């Protein structure tokens, strides 16, 4: 349905020298968190209009209960923490 990419690298090496840019250093020092969002509504409507079936489910409306059931079966997400070189995958 959609993807969010955060192209990030260590603060060191950004900017003009090895110390990195001021904004990157400030965000690191502040413990800045990054987030993203994926708009699902347009894709859900397209699947309703086309009558597409995914994993045995065909979404017929945007009724809350139906969408929740559909997403529980079809939505997957992953968090990757590059600084720890760990990946956590969770299927809903």
pTM: 0.52
* pLDDT per position as a tens digit, 57-84: 999 999 999 999 999 998 887 776 666 5
Q: What is the mean pLDDT of the chain?
A: 75
* Residue 29 neighbours by CB under 8 Å, 6+ apart: none
Q: Quick one: DSSP state of residue 58?
A: E
Confidence of residue 19 (pLDDT cuts 50, 70, 90): low
For the chain, domain boundaries: 1-37, 39-91
Reply yes or no on whether the pLDDT at 40 is more than 70: yes
Please return the burial class of 59, using the count of CB atoms within 10 Å of its CB with bins 0-12, 13-18 and 19+: buried
Reply yes or no on whether the pLDDT at 92 is more than 60: no
Mean pLDDT in residue range 18-27: 71
Do the Cβ atoms of 37 and 4 come closer than 8 Å? yes
């Amino acid at each position: 349905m959609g993807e969010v990419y955060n192209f990030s690298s260590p603060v060191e090496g950004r900017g003009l020298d090895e110390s990195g840019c001021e904004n990157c250093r400030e965000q690191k020092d502040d413990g800045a968190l990054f987030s993203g969002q994926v708009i699902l509504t347009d894709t859900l409507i397209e699947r309703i209009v086309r009558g597409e079936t995914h994993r045995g489910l065909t979404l017929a409306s945007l009724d809350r209960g139906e969408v929740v059931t559909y997403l529980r079966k079809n939505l997957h997400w992953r968090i990757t923490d590059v600084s720890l070189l760990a990946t956590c995958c969770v299927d809903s």
